[in-house]
Structure 1
Amino acid sequence: MAEKTNQQVYPLAPSNGNPRSDEESNTLQSKELKKKKRIKLAIYIAAFAVFQTIFILVFALTVMRVRTPKVRLGTDVTFSKLNTDNNETSPSFDITFIAQVRVKNTNFGPYKYDSTTANFKFQDVNVGRVTIPEGKAGLRSTKKVSVTVNVNSDALKITSSNLGNDFKNEVLTLNGQAKFTGKVELMFVMKKKKATEMNCTMVINLTSKALKDLICE
Protein backbone atom coordinates (compact mmCIF):
# COMPACT_ATOMS: atom_id res chain seq x y z
CA MET A 1 0.00 0.00 0.00
CA ALA A 2 1.48 3.18 -1.11
CA GLU A 3 1.71 5.99 1.37
CA LYS A 4 1.08 9.49 0.18
CA THR A 5 3.58 11.93 1.43
CA ASN A 6 2.46 15.48 1.97
CA GLN A 7 5.67 17.38 2.83
CA GLN A 8 6.65 20.90 1.86
CA VAL A 9 10.14 21.35 0.54
CA TYR A 10 11.98 24.58 1.42
CA PRO A 11 14.75 25.77 -0.89
CA LEU A 12 18.24 26.10 0.58
CA ALA A 13 19.75 29.56 0.96
CA PRO A 14 22.36 30.29 -1.68
CA SER A 15 25.96 29.85 -0.57
CA ASN A 16 26.83 33.43 -1.53
CA GLY A 17 23.97 35.09 0.35
CA ASN A 18 24.18 38.14 2.76
CA PRO A 19 25.59 37.65 6.35
CA ARG A 20 23.22 37.40 9.19
CA SER A 21 21.93 40.54 10.86
CA ASP A 22 23.83 39.90 14.12
CA GLU A 23 27.10 39.68 12.20
CA GLU A 24 26.30 42.99 10.48
CA SER A 25 25.60 44.58 13.86
CA ASN A 26 28.91 43.37 15.29
CA THR A 27 30.81 44.73 12.29
CA LEU A 28 29.15 48.13 12.54
CA GLN A 29 29.87 48.30 16.28
CA SER A 30 33.51 47.43 15.66
CA LYS A 31 33.85 50.12 13.02
CA GLU A 32 32.14 52.68 15.27
CA LEU A 33 34.44 51.78 18.17
CA LYS A 34 37.54 52.18 16.00
CA LYS A 35 36.23 55.52 14.76
CA LYS A 36 35.72 56.77 18.32
CA LYS A 37 39.23 55.64 19.27
CA ARG A 38 40.68 57.53 16.31
CA ILE A 39 38.74 60.66 17.30
CA LYS A 40 39.94 60.38 20.91
CA LEU A 41 43.52 59.91 19.76
CA ALA A 42 43.27 62.96 17.50
CA ILE A 43 41.84 65.01 20.40
CA TYR A 44 44.69 63.88 22.70
CA ILE A 45 47.30 64.76 20.09
CA ALA A 46 45.73 68.19 19.48
CA ALA A 47 45.48 68.88 23.23
CA PHE A 48 49.13 67.89 23.74
CA ALA A 49 50.20 70.14 20.85
CA VAL A 50 48.27 73.08 22.32
CA PHE A 51 49.71 72.43 25.80
CA GLN A 52 53.23 72.18 24.39
CA THR A 53 52.77 75.43 22.45
CA ILE A 54 51.50 77.24 25.55
CA PHE A 55 54.36 75.82 27.63
CA ILE A 56 56.98 76.94 25.10
CA LEU A 57 55.38 80.39 24.87
CA VAL A 58 55.27 80.85 28.65
CA PHE A 59 58.83 79.53 28.95
CA ALA A 60 60.04 81.98 26.30
CA LEU A 61 58.24 84.94 27.88
CA THR A 62 59.35 84.22 31.44
CA VAL A 63 62.42 82.05 31.84
CA MET A 64 64.18 82.89 28.57
CA ARG A 65 63.26 86.58 28.53
CA VAL A 66 66.24 88.77 29.44
CA ARG A 67 65.36 91.79 31.56
CA THR A 68 67.59 94.75 32.33
CA PRO A 69 68.87 94.63 35.94
CA LYS A 70 68.22 97.65 38.15
CA VAL A 71 70.84 99.46 40.22
CA ARG A 72 69.86 101.64 43.16
CA LEU A 73 71.37 103.17 46.28
CA GLY A 74 70.01 101.78 49.53
CA THR A 75 68.43 104.06 52.13
CA ASP A 76 70.69 102.75 54.88
CA VAL A 77 73.37 105.44 54.58
CA THR A 78 75.77 105.95 57.49
CA PHE A 79 77.79 109.17 57.87
CA SER A 80 81.22 108.76 59.43
CA LYS A 81 82.24 112.38 58.76
CA LEU A 82 80.10 115.41 58.01
CA ASN A 83 81.91 118.73 58.13
CA THR A 84 80.36 121.87 56.67
CA ASP A 85 81.32 125.54 56.68
CA ASN A 86 78.53 127.99 55.95
CA ASN A 87 80.89 130.85 55.15
CA GLU A 88 79.08 133.44 53.04
CA THR A 89 82.06 133.97 50.75
CA SER A 90 83.23 130.38 50.37
CA PRO A 91 80.96 127.72 51.89
CA SER A 92 82.38 124.21 51.88
CA PHE A 93 81.77 120.63 52.92
CA ASP A 94 83.76 117.47 53.49
CA ILE A 95 81.60 114.38 53.97
CA THR A 96 82.33 110.67 54.20
CA PHE A 97 79.52 108.14 54.22
CA ILE A 98 78.96 104.42 53.77
CA ALA A 99 76.26 103.50 51.29
CA GLN A 100 74.89 100.31 49.80
CA VAL A 101 74.74 99.83 46.04
CA ARG A 102 72.04 97.28 45.17
CA VAL A 103 72.06 95.38 41.89
CA LYS A 104 68.63 93.78 41.46
CA ASN A 105 68.52 90.91 38.97
CA THR A 106 65.05 89.55 38.07
CA ASN A 107 66.33 87.10 35.44
CA PHE A 108 66.37 83.30 35.71
CA GLY A 109 70.14 83.38 35.45
CA PRO A 110 73.04 85.28 37.10
CA TYR A 111 74.09 88.76 36.01
CA LYS A 112 77.87 89.21 35.94
CA TYR A 113 78.92 92.85 35.79
CA ASP A 114 82.27 94.54 35.26
CA SER A 115 84.05 96.93 37.58
CA THR A 116 82.72 100.48 37.28
CA THR A 117 82.94 103.95 38.84
CA ALA A 118 80.13 105.78 40.61
CA ASN A 119 80.31 109.57 40.47
CA PHE A 120 78.64 111.87 42.96
CA LYS A 121 77.80 115.36 41.76
CA PHE A 122 76.57 118.65 43.10
CA GLN A 123 74.70 120.54 40.36
CA ASP A 124 76.52 118.63 37.58
CA VAL A 125 79.96 119.17 39.16
CA ASN A 126 81.78 116.02 40.23
CA VAL A 127 82.50 116.19 43.97
CA GLY A 128 83.44 112.56 44.65
CA ARG A 129 83.75 109.10 43.17
CA VAL A 130 84.09 105.50 44.24
CA THR A 131 85.04 102.28 42.45
CA ILE A 132 82.54 99.42 42.50
CA PRO A 133 84.35 96.10 41.92
CA GLU A 134 83.12 93.49 39.50
CA GLY A 135 80.62 91.05 40.89
CA LYS A 136 77.65 88.81 40.26
CA ALA A 137 73.97 89.10 41.16
CA GLY A 138 72.46 85.63 41.37
CA LEU A 139 69.31 84.55 39.58
CA ARG A 140 66.28 86.49 40.84
CA SER A 141 68.24 88.08 43.67
CA THR A 142 69.78 91.39 44.72
CA LYS A 143 73.52 91.88 45.12
CA LYS A 144 74.38 94.38 47.88
CA VAL A 145 77.74 96.12 47.73
CA SER A 146 78.89 98.43 50.54
CA VAL A 147 81.00 101.39 49.42
CA THR A 148 82.69 104.20 51.33
CA VAL A 149 82.31 107.54 49.58
CA ASN A 150 84.06 110.84 50.23
CA VAL A 151 82.61 114.01 48.75
CA ASN A 152 83.99 117.51 49.18
CA SER A 153 83.55 120.97 47.75
CA ASP A 154 87.07 121.44 46.35
CA ALA A 155 85.74 121.64 42.79
CA LEU A 156 82.94 124.09 43.66
CA LYS A 157 84.87 127.36 43.89
CA ILE A 158 82.97 128.87 40.98
CA THR A 159 79.55 127.66 42.16
CA SER A 160 79.99 128.30 45.86
CA SER A 161 77.02 130.69 45.90
CA ASN A 162 74.69 127.82 44.92
CA LEU A 163 76.11 125.78 47.75
CA GLY A 164 75.37 128.62 50.16
CA ASN A 165 71.71 128.55 49.13
CA ASP A 166 71.55 124.86 49.99
CA PHE A 167 73.20 125.46 53.34
CA LYS A 168 70.61 128.09 54.24
CA ASN A 169 67.99 125.35 53.96
CA GLU A 170 70.22 123.10 56.09
CA VAL A 171 70.40 120.44 53.35
CA LEU A 172 72.86 119.22 50.75
CA THR A 173 71.60 117.62 47.53
CA LEU A 174 73.87 115.19 45.70
CA ASN A 175 73.36 113.06 42.62
CA GLY A 176 74.95 109.60 42.34
CA GLN A 177 75.46 108.13 38.87
CA ALA A 178 77.04 104.92 37.56
CA LYS A 179 76.84 102.73 34.47
CA PHE A 180 77.05 98.95 34.75
CA THR A 181 77.91 96.64 31.87
CA GLY A 182 77.75 92.87 32.03
CA LYS A 183 76.08 89.68 30.82
CA VAL A 184 73.03 87.68 31.86
CA GLU A 185 73.60 83.92 31.62
CA LEU A 186 70.59 81.68 31.00
CA MET A 187 70.52 77.87 31.18
CA PHE A 188 74.34 77.88 31.38
CA VAL A 189 74.38 78.33 27.61
CA MET A 190 72.91 81.63 26.42
CA LYS A 191 74.64 84.87 27.37
CA LYS A 192 73.08 88.25 26.72
CA LYS A 193 74.87 91.59 27.18
CA LYS A 194 73.00 94.02 29.37
CA ALA A 195 73.90 97.56 30.48
CA THR A 196 72.11 99.42 33.22
CA GLU A 197 72.52 102.78 34.95
CA MET A 198 72.22 104.09 38.48
CA ASN A 199 70.80 107.57 38.87
CA CYS A 200 69.90 108.53 42.43
CA THR A 201 69.35 111.90 44.09
CA MET A 202 70.10 112.02 47.80
CA VAL A 203 69.20 114.86 50.15
CA ILE A 204 71.32 115.10 53.30
CA ASN A 205 69.98 116.85 56.40
CA LEU A 206 72.96 118.81 57.71
CA THR A 207 71.37 119.41 61.10
CA SER A 208 70.51 115.82 61.99
CA LYS A 209 73.44 114.50 59.93
CA ALA A 210 71.23 111.88 58.35
CA LEU A 211 69.71 111.04 55.00
CA LYS A 212 66.54 113.04 54.50
CA ASP A 213 65.40 111.74 51.13
CA LEU A 214 66.53 109.37 48.36
CA ILE A 215 65.02 109.22 44.89
CA CYS A 216 66.25 106.76 42.26
CA GLU A 217 65.08 106.72 38.67
Structure 2
Amino acid sequence: MAQKTNQQVNPLGPESKEPRSDEESGSKTSAEELKRKKRIKLAIYIAAFAVFQTIVILVFALIVMRVKTPKVRLGNDATFHNVTTGNSTSPSFDINFTTQLRVKNANFGPYKYDSTIATFMYKGVTAGQVTIPKGKAGLRSTKKVGVTLNVNSKDLPSSANLAGDLKSGLLMLNSHAKLSGKVELMFIMKKKKSVEMNCTMTINLSSKEIHSMICE
Protein backbone atom coordinates (compact mmCIF):
# COMPACT_ATOMS: atom_id res chain seq x y z
CA MET A 1 0.00 0.00 0.00
CA ALA A 2 1.49 3.16 -1.07
CA GLN A 3 2.45 5.53 1.64
CA LYS A 4 0.47 8.73 1.57
CA THR A 5 2.54 11.79 1.31
CA ASN A 6 1.29 14.63 3.34
CA GLN A 7 1.31 17.62 1.09
CA GLN A 8 0.88 20.99 2.75
CA VAL A 9 -1.42 23.18 0.72
CA ASN A 10 -1.00 26.84 1.39
CA PRO A 11 -4.20 28.85 0.96
CA LEU A 12 -4.18 31.36 -1.81
CA GLY A 13 -3.62 34.84 -0.45
CA PRO A 14 -4.92 38.09 -1.96
CA GLU A 15 -3.27 39.08 -5.18
CA SER A 16 -0.65 41.73 -4.73
CA LYS A 17 -1.25 45.02 -6.53
CA GLU A 18 0.84 45.48 -9.58
CA PRO A 19 2.71 48.80 -9.98
CA ARG A 20 1.19 51.35 -12.39
CA SER A 21 2.22 50.85 -15.92
CA ASP A 22 4.04 53.55 -17.94
CA GLU A 23 0.88 54.13 -20.00
CA GLU A 24 -1.26 54.94 -16.92
CA SER A 25 1.39 57.30 -15.54
CA GLY A 26 1.75 59.03 -18.87
CA SER A 27 -2.02 59.42 -19.22
CA LYS A 28 -2.28 61.12 -15.82
CA THR A 29 0.62 63.44 -16.69
CA SER A 30 -1.01 64.38 -20.00
CA ALA A 31 -4.33 65.17 -18.29
CA GLU A 32 -2.60 67.38 -15.73
CA GLU A 33 -0.64 69.13 -18.48
CA LEU A 34 -3.85 69.72 -20.44
CA LYS A 35 -5.53 71.24 -17.39
CA ARG A 36 -2.52 73.44 -16.77
CA LYS A 37 -2.58 74.71 -20.36
CA LYS A 38 -6.30 75.45 -20.09
CA ARG A 39 -5.71 77.44 -16.92
CA ILE A 40 -2.94 79.40 -18.64
CA LYS A 41 -5.17 80.12 -21.65
CA LEU A 42 -7.99 81.26 -19.38
CA ALA A 43 -5.63 83.57 -17.50
CA ILE A 44 -4.39 84.99 -20.83
CA TYR A 45 -7.96 85.58 -22.03
CA ILE A 46 -8.89 87.32 -18.77
CA ALA A 47 -5.78 89.52 -18.92
CA ALA A 48 -6.41 90.39 -22.60
CA PHE A 49 -10.03 91.28 -21.86
CA ALA A 50 -8.96 93.46 -18.94
CA VAL A 51 -6.42 95.27 -21.15
CA PHE A 52 -9.05 95.70 -23.88
CA GLN A 53 -11.55 97.13 -21.41
CA THR A 54 -8.93 99.52 -20.06
CA ILE A 55 -8.12 100.74 -23.58
CA VAL A 56 -11.80 101.22 -24.36
CA ILE A 57 -12.33 103.21 -21.17
CA LEU A 58 -9.27 105.38 -21.86
CA VAL A 59 -10.33 106.06 -25.46
CA PHE A 60 -13.86 106.85 -24.29
CA ALA A 61 -12.58 109.22 -21.61
CA LEU A 62 -9.90 110.93 -23.71
CA ILE A 63 -11.75 111.21 -27.02
CA VAL A 64 -15.48 110.77 -26.66
CA MET A 65 -15.97 112.45 -23.27
CA ARG A 66 -13.34 115.13 -23.78
CA VAL A 67 -14.99 118.52 -24.36
CA LYS A 68 -13.33 120.65 -27.01
CA THR A 69 -13.94 124.35 -27.51
CA PRO A 70 -15.97 124.97 -30.70
CA LYS A 71 -14.76 127.48 -33.28
CA VAL A 72 -16.63 130.29 -35.02
CA ARG A 73 -15.33 131.84 -38.23
CA LEU A 74 -16.47 134.02 -41.10
CA GLY A 75 -16.79 132.34 -44.48
CA ASN A 76 -14.44 133.32 -47.30
CA ASP A 77 -17.31 134.11 -49.64
CA ALA A 78 -19.72 137.06 -49.59
CA THR A 79 -22.38 138.48 -51.87
CA PHE A 80 -22.27 142.26 -52.16
CA HIS A 81 -25.58 143.98 -52.83
CA ASN A 82 -24.44 147.58 -52.71
CA VAL A 83 -21.04 149.25 -52.51
CA THR A 84 -20.97 153.05 -52.32
CA THR A 85 -17.86 155.15 -51.70
CA GLY A 86 -17.26 158.88 -51.52
CA ASN A 87 -14.53 160.92 -53.19
CA SER A 88 -11.14 162.15 -52.09
CA THR A 89 -12.53 165.32 -50.54
CA SER A 90 -15.39 163.54 -48.76
CA PRO A 91 -14.35 159.91 -48.28
CA SER A 92 -17.00 157.48 -47.06
CA PHE A 93 -18.33 153.98 -47.58
CA ASP A 94 -21.69 152.30 -47.35
CA ILE A 95 -21.72 148.56 -48.06
CA ASN A 96 -24.45 145.92 -47.88
CA PHE A 97 -23.46 142.29 -48.16
CA THR A 98 -24.41 138.75 -47.16
CA THR A 99 -21.92 136.30 -45.70
CA GLN A 100 -21.75 133.18 -43.53
CA LEU A 101 -20.66 132.54 -39.98
CA ARG A 102 -19.57 128.99 -39.42
CA VAL A 103 -19.74 127.34 -36.01
CA LYS A 104 -17.52 124.24 -36.04
CA ASN A 105 -18.20 121.65 -33.34
CA ALA A 106 -15.68 118.80 -33.03
CA ASN A 107 -17.36 117.19 -30.00
CA PHE A 108 -19.31 113.93 -29.81
CA GLY A 109 -22.38 115.88 -28.78
CA PRO A 110 -24.27 119.00 -29.94
CA TYR A 111 -23.22 122.54 -29.07
CA LYS A 112 -26.19 124.79 -28.24
CA TYR A 113 -25.40 128.49 -28.18
CA ASP A 114 -27.35 131.64 -27.31
CA SER A 115 -28.09 134.63 -29.50
CA THR A 116 -25.29 137.21 -29.72
CA ILE A 117 -24.07 140.24 -31.65
CA ALA A 118 -21.26 140.26 -34.21
CA THR A 119 -19.52 143.63 -34.54
CA PHE A 120 -17.62 144.84 -37.61
CA MET A 121 -15.08 147.62 -37.07
CA TYR A 122 -12.93 149.92 -39.16
CA LYS A 123 -9.76 150.86 -37.31
CA GLY A 124 -11.38 150.21 -33.94
CA VAL A 125 -14.59 152.13 -34.67
CA THR A 126 -17.86 150.21 -35.04
CA ALA A 127 -19.01 150.26 -38.67
CA GLY A 128 -21.84 147.73 -38.40
CA GLN A 129 -23.45 145.03 -36.30
CA VAL A 130 -25.53 141.94 -36.97
CA THR A 131 -27.45 139.55 -34.71
CA ILE A 132 -26.47 135.88 -34.67
CA PRO A 133 -29.61 133.96 -33.64
CA LYS A 134 -29.38 131.14 -31.13
CA GLY A 135 -28.82 127.76 -32.67
CA LYS A 136 -27.21 124.36 -32.46
CA ALA A 137 -24.17 122.83 -34.12
CA GLY A 138 -24.60 119.06 -34.29
CA LEU A 139 -22.05 116.56 -33.12
CA ARG A 140 -18.86 116.73 -35.18
CA SER A 141 -20.38 119.11 -37.72
CA THR A 142 -20.32 122.74 -38.83
CA LYS A 143 -23.34 125.00 -38.50
CA LYS A 144 -23.56 127.63 -41.25
CA VAL A 145 -25.44 130.81 -40.41
CA GLY A 146 -26.20 133.28 -43.20
CA VAL A 147 -26.22 136.95 -42.18
CA THR A 148 -26.90 140.15 -44.10
CA LEU A 149 -25.47 143.39 -42.76
CA ASN A 150 -24.60 146.96 -43.53
CA VAL A 151 -21.28 148.59 -42.76
CA ASN A 152 -20.74 152.34 -43.18
CA SER A 153 -18.44 155.16 -42.16
CA LYS A 154 -20.96 157.53 -40.60
CA ASP A 155 -19.48 157.17 -37.10
CA LEU A 156 -15.85 157.48 -38.17
CA PRO A 157 -13.86 160.50 -36.93
CA SER A 158 -12.58 162.89 -39.56
CA SER A 159 -9.02 161.97 -38.62
CA ALA A 160 -9.38 158.45 -40.00
CA ASN A 161 -7.21 157.84 -43.03
CA LEU A 162 -10.15 156.60 -45.06
CA ALA A 163 -9.24 158.44 -48.25
CA GLY A 164 -5.99 156.49 -48.64
CA ASP A 165 -7.75 153.13 -48.22
CA LEU A 166 -10.47 154.03 -50.68
CA LYS A 167 -7.84 155.13 -53.18
CA SER A 168 -6.10 151.76 -52.88
CA GLY A 169 -9.38 150.00 -53.56
CA LEU A 170 -9.04 147.80 -50.47
CA LEU A 171 -11.07 148.25 -47.30
CA MET A 172 -10.05 146.31 -44.18
CA LEU A 173 -12.63 145.46 -41.52
CA ASN A 174 -12.21 143.62 -38.23
CA SER A 175 -15.03 141.49 -36.86
CA HIS A 176 -15.67 140.15 -33.38
CA ALA A 177 -18.32 137.96 -31.77
CA LYS A 178 -18.58 135.82 -28.67
CA LEU A 179 -20.80 132.75 -28.47
CA SER A 180 -21.87 131.33 -25.13
CA GLY A 181 -23.42 127.89 -24.89
CA LYS A 182 -23.18 124.32 -23.70
CA VAL A 183 -21.81 121.09 -25.12
CA GLU A 184 -24.01 118.07 -24.37
CA LEU A 185 -22.39 114.63 -24.17
CA MET A 186 -24.32 111.37 -23.99
CA PHE A 187 -27.45 113.37 -23.06
CA ILE A 188 -26.27 113.38 -19.44
CA MET A 189 -23.30 115.73 -19.22
CA LYS A 190 -23.41 119.42 -20.08
CA LYS A 191 -20.41 121.69 -20.04
CA LYS A 192 -20.40 125.44 -20.66
CA LYS A 193 -18.20 126.61 -23.50
CA SER A 194 -17.66 130.13 -24.82
CA VAL A 195 -15.95 130.81 -28.12
CA GLU A 196 -14.80 134.08 -29.69
CA MET A 197 -14.52 135.09 -33.31
CA ASN A 198 -11.77 137.47 -34.37
CA CYS A 199 -11.50 137.85 -38.13
CA THR A 200 -9.93 140.42 -40.41
CA MET A 201 -11.51 140.73 -43.83
CA THR A 202 -10.29 142.86 -46.71
CA ILE A 203 -12.87 143.92 -49.29
CA ASN A 204 -11.90 144.65 -52.87
CA LEU A 205 -14.09 147.67 -53.63
CA SER A 206 -13.59 147.44 -57.38
CA SER A 207 -14.39 143.75 -57.91
CA LYS A 208 -16.85 143.67 -55.00
CA GLU A 209 -15.46 140.50 -53.46
CA ILE A 210 -13.48 139.30 -50.45
CA HIS A 211 -9.80 139.96 -51.14
CA SER A 212 -8.59 138.10 -48.03
CA MET A 213 -9.90 136.64 -44.79
CA ILE A 214 -7.78 135.90 -41.71
CA CYS A 215 -9.35 134.43 -38.58
CA GLU A 216 -7.62 133.67 -35.30
Q: TM-score, with normalisation over the residues of structure 1?
A: 0.89
Distance across 1 between alignment mates of 2:127 and 2:192: 31
* Distance in 2 separating the partners of 1:198 and 1:183: 17
In the alignment, structure 1 residue 131 sits paired with structure 2 residue 131: yes
Shift, 1:186, TM fit: 0.8
- Paired positions, count: 210
Match of 1:173, SS?
A: strand
Q: What are the superposed Cα offsets for residues 109-167 of structure 1, whole Å, 9 maximum, x if unpaired?
A: 1000011100000111111111101000011111111111111111112433x111211
> In the alignment, what sits opposite 1:203?
202
Q: Which runs of 5+ in 2 are unaligned?
A: 8-12
Q: Deviations over 1:71-121 (max 9, x none)?
A: 111122011111110333x41111111111110111111000011100000
CA distance in 2, matches of 1:73, 1:185: 24
Distance 2:113 2:159 in 1: 35
- Corresponding residue for residue 168 of structure 1: 167
Aligned twin of 1:111: 111
Shift of 1:55: 1.4
| 1:212 counterpart = 2:208 | no
SS in 2 for 1:35: helix
Q: 1:177 deviation in Å?
A: 0.7
> Where does residue 155 of structure 1 map in the other structure?
155
Question: Structure 1: which amino acid aligns with 2:84?
Answer: N
Q: Distance in 2 between matches of 1:185 and 1:14?
A: 82
Structure 1, unmatched stretches of 5+, are 6-10
Q: Percent identity?
A: 62
Q: With the length of structure 2 as denominator, give the TM-score of the two structures.
A: 0.89
